[in-house]
């Protein structure tokens, strides 16, 4: 085991805050002295099965704990997801059934393993202890917190003062999550800065149950591809860990320049020194932002798919967007062999490039539709199907169409 001070340096890296810092140092020191790994908790919400780069920030931190020999405990909030986490939300989350969340949890763990080490990882479902909780005990727990304290939480307060509904059960969410810390006797809990309140509640309840309170390690929230809001699935500004390399690369290239260094640091896991160097090169104009971004994008894709895939993704990106060539691989759509020609509008709908015929007409009239590279603005154009064609709507939606041979349907 590395000396405590060294560990602290690694673990504090990129963290926004450690609460309380001295306690955390003390825990590390004791861990080294007694040879006991720390139990490090990360709770996750399986109501949304897709993990994205924002989650990876925290997952990577958990991995660092693993690398230092500590015990990672991933809590799958299958039970809490049935409450619906109100964190950072202005609206009540939809409640899922236990069944649904279990299914999500499956893929969730698989995705988390892309970042975590397989060893020193334990996965626990919080329904294990929350399901059994008696009403009497719930009362005891709930009595540990006042309504005023709950309302201190920014999102609750915001909704309250806006006159928006807050379900009573939502107040129970932080408590439930805190009970997880009690159940697994967490030494440290990781989370994004938006989780501060919930994690603090863990300390609170642990103390009540006579346990040594956990320390909090809060990581920054990564902005999404829009560059403004934090990355989240519901805002649609996320890059999923399961996005294929090309898509991941493409999305990364679409982030605003102002985020290059931040992504380098938080998503490509670059060190402080590396990040500073990059920032300097950008500021002094030694490095073109485009190249910097491509470098970062490559690093990130590499992390999930390896250097070869990253290389290919970068090349493909240049090919399609820089040089405006066709993608090397196009999805294909086959029309029945007996069809001679079709209105372009119908083709756009049939291939799924566009959701409705009205939309197809609009896109055509706006000059967004190209057939074999030639813009077509005639909404009534018909396309011969004897030869294969490449149909494009905008830059991103491209399909190759052809007719099936010898009248073979489909």
Asked if the bond preceding 231 is cis, omega within 30° of 0, the reply is no
* Spatial distance between the Cα atoms of 130 and 126, rounded to a whole number of angstroms: 6
* Spatial distance between the Cα atoms of 139 and 135, rounded to a whole number of angstroms: 6
Nearer to RNA, 16 or 91 (CB): 91
CB count in 10 Å sphere of residue 210: 7
Contacting RNA within 30-49 (CB under 7 A) = none
- Whole-angstrom CA distances from 71 to 38, 74, 399 are 6, 10, 48
Half-sphere exposure at residue 108, Cβ-oriented, CA atoms within 13 angstroms: 24
Write out the DSSP string of 42-108. Answer: EEE-TTS---BHHHHHHHHHHHHHHHTTPEEEEEE-TTGGGT---TT-SSPPPP--HHHHHHHHHHH
257 contributes a contact to RNA by CB under 7 A: yes
Q: Among 37, 69, 88, 227, which residue interacts with RNA (rule: CB under 7 A)?
A: 227
17-19 sheet: strands from edge to edge = 17-19, 215-219, 188-192, 39-44, 71-76, 121-125
Candidates 129-137, 190-198, 389-397, 398-406; binding stretch for RNA (CB under 7 A): 389-397
- Least distance to RNA, CB of residue 266, Å: 18
376 contributes a contact to RNA by CB under 7 A: no
Tokens 């825990």, residue?
Answer: 27
Contacting RNA within 302-331 (CB under 7 A) = 321-322
373 contributes a contact to RNA by CB under 7 A: no
356 contributes a contact to RNA by CB under 7 A: yes
Question: Strand pairing of 382-384 and 341-343?
Answer: antiparallel
Nearer to RNA, 96 or 398 (CB): 398
- Least distance to RNA, CB of residue 269, Å: 20
Contacting RNA within 152-181 (CB under 7 A) = 160, 163-166
Q: Among 183, 349, 376, 390, which residue interacts with RNA (rule: CB under 7 A)?
A: 349
Nearer to RNA, 113 or 169 (CB): 169
Distance in Å from the first CA to the final CA of the chain: 62
- Least distance to RNA, CB of residue 136, Å: 26
73 contributes a contact to RNA by CB under 7 A: no
Q: Among 276, 394, 407, 408, which residue interacts with RNA (rule: CB under 7 A)?
A: 394
Candidates 108-116, 122-130, 270-278, 366-374; binding stretch for RNA (CB under 7 A): 366-374
Q: Among 262, 312, 357, 402, which residue interacts with RNA (rule: CB under 7 A)?
A: 357
- Least distance to RNA, CB of residue 410, Å: 22
Which residue ranges make up the site for RNA (CB under 7 A)?
Answer: 160, 163-166, 226-227, 236-237, 253-257, 288-290, 293-294, 321-322, 349, 355-359, 361-363, 366-368, 379-380, 393-397
């Amino acid at each position: 085991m590395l000396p405590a001070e060294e560990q602290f340096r690694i673990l504090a890296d990129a963290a926004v805050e450690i609460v309380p810092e001295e306690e955390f140092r003390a825990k590390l020191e004791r861990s080294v002295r007694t040879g006991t790994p720390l139990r490090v908790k990360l709770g996750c919400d399986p109501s949304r099965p897709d993990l994205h780069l924002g989650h990876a920030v925290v997952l990577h931190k958990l991995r660092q704990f693993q690398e230092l020999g500590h015990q990672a405990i991933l809590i799958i909030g299958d039970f809490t997801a049935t409450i619906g986490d109100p964190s950072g939300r202005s609206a009540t989350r939809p409640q899922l059934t236990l069944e649904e969340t279990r299914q999500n949890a499956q893929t969730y763990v698989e995705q988390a393993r892309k970042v975590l080490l397989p060893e020193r990882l334990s996965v626990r479902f919080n329904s294990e202890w929350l399901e059994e909780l008696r009403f009497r005990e719930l009362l005891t727990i709930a009595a540990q917190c006042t309504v005023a304290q709950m309302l201190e939480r920014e999102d609750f307060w915001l909704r309250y003062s806006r006159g928006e509904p807050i379900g009573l059960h939502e107040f129970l969410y932080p408590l439930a999550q805190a009970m997880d810390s009690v159940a697994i006797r967490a030494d440290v809990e990781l989370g994004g800065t938006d989780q501060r309140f919930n994690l603090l509640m863990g300390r609170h309840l642990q103390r009540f149950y006579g346990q040594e309170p956990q320390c909090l390690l809060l990581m920054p929230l990564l902005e999404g591809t829009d560059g403004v809001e934090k990355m989240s699935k519901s805002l649609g500004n996320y890059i999923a860990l399961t996005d294929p390399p090309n898509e991941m690369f493409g999305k990364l290239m679409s982030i605003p320049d102002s985020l290059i260094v931040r992504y380098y640091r938080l998503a490509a896991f670059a060190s402080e020194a590396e990040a500073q160097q990059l920032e300097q090169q950008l500021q002094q104009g030694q490095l073109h932002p485009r190249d910097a971004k491509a470098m970062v994008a490559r690093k990130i894709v590499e992390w999930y798919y390896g250097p070869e895939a990253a290389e290919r993704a970068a090349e493909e990106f240049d090919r399609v967007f820089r040089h405006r060539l066709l993608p090397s691989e196009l999805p294909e759509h086959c029309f029945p062999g007996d069809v001679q020609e079709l209105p372009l509008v119908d083709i756009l709908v049939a291939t799924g490039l566009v959701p409705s015929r009205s939309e197809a007409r609009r896109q055509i009239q706006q000059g967004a539709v190209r057939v074999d590279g030639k813009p077509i603005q005639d909404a009534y154009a018909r396309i011969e199907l004897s030869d294969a064609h490449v149909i494009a709507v905008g830059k991103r939606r491209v399909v190759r169409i052809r007719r099936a041979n010898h009248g073979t349907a489909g």
